[in-house]
Amino acid sequence: MGIADFSITDIPLEESFPRLLDIKKRVDRGDKLDEADIRFLSQITHYSKQSKLLEAQSPKWKNFYTDVLLVYEEIINKLMDNVEKAG
């Protein structure tokens, strides 16, 4: 899907960020991710990249890209720490 085929309504912003934060909380507790979590993380990074391209269309996208990537990075770093501690 190219940017011309992509609409702001295609990105479920209201549902996405809270779910991302929920995943972060679970990872912070040491929980493992399931396939749905991994699929979601893949989708949210895709959405955040698309939102970066859509910033000019709506102010709500201004910080979405940065916020998602910061939380995503924290999740990945914590997952790596958890794997190290378990190994």
**DSSP secondary structure, 25-46, as one string:** HHHHTTPPP-HHHHHHHHHHHH
- As given in the structure block, the two tokens for residue 9 are 């309504």
Q: Give the pLDDT score at 9.
A: 52
Quick: pLDDT tens for 24-77.
999 999 999 999 999 999 888 877 777 767 777 776 677 777 888 899 999 999
pTM above 0.85, yes or no: no
* Nearest one of 24, 76, 20, 74 to 47, comparing CA atoms: 20
Distance CA 82, CA 16 (A): 24
